[in-house]
Amino acid sequence: MVLAGCQTNSTGFGRAPDSPYAPGTYGTLEDSVDGLIVGHRLTAAGEHELALKAYKRAAVEHGFTVDVLSALGSANLQLGRLGQAEKLLRRATQVDVNFAPAWNNLGVVLMETGQVSEAVRAFEIAFGLDRGQSAEIRENLRLALANQGNPDYDPANNDTFSLVRRGSGDYLLLSEI
């Protein structure tokens, strides 16, 4: 004999036997743990995909507050989804222009996408809002400023190249030594 569950109620899952609807839930949203808290714990554990799901649940619970938008953006950043992260973090900075973590994380995204000057500005805003208290923001600003003054392009290693046409639509890049 196979049992459907550990219930003594013969109607199953607390619904009327003649009900055409699926069974209800056993708890309410108020009974669950806050999605932001769960997401932060999952992020700390390195479970960024699960954290993103928890942050989405937090968006349902709280709406798109600066905390939720910043958390969603940060989770996307950790997952390498830089375009999504940038959109969410920009939105977070519009919702609350005084939220330093959103500015800091936006700066990180901008650095990752090569927008160094804009990243410096985001870090400067975060640094000002934080009053220089966060070592992480301070270090990010320092690195961005160093990167801004020292771009990846090295003019000393500027080789001369020629583009030579070979037939119709076929080109060859030659180095002039």
What span, in angstroms and rounded, lies between the C-alpha atoms of 18 and 26? 20
Contact call for residues 128 and 99 (beta carbons, < 8 A): no
Question: Is 145 buried (19+), middle (13-18) or exposed (0-12) by CB count in 10 A?
Answer: middle
The pLDDT assigned to 24 comes to 60
The pLDDT assigned to 177 comes to 54
The pLDDT assigned to 20 comes to 75
The pLDDT assigned to 6 comes to 46
What span, in angstroms and rounded, lies between the C-alpha atoms of 98 and 108? 17
Contact call for residues 78 and 49 (beta carbons, < 8 A): no
H-assigned helices in 33-112 = 35-44, 48-62, 66-78, 82-95, 100-112
Three-state DSSP class for residue 171: strand
Residue 121 tokens read as 């500005």
Q: Which segments in the chain show pLDDT lower than 50?
A: 1-12, 153, 155
Three-state DSSP class for residue 83: helix
Share of the chain above pLDDT 90, in %: 60
Smallest CA-to-CA distance from 86 within 68, 101, 65, 108 is with 108
User: How many of the other CB atoms lie within 10 Å of CB of 51?
Assistant: 26
The pLDDT assigned to 2 comes to 45
Cα angle for residues 105, 107, 112 (degrees, 5° grid) = 100
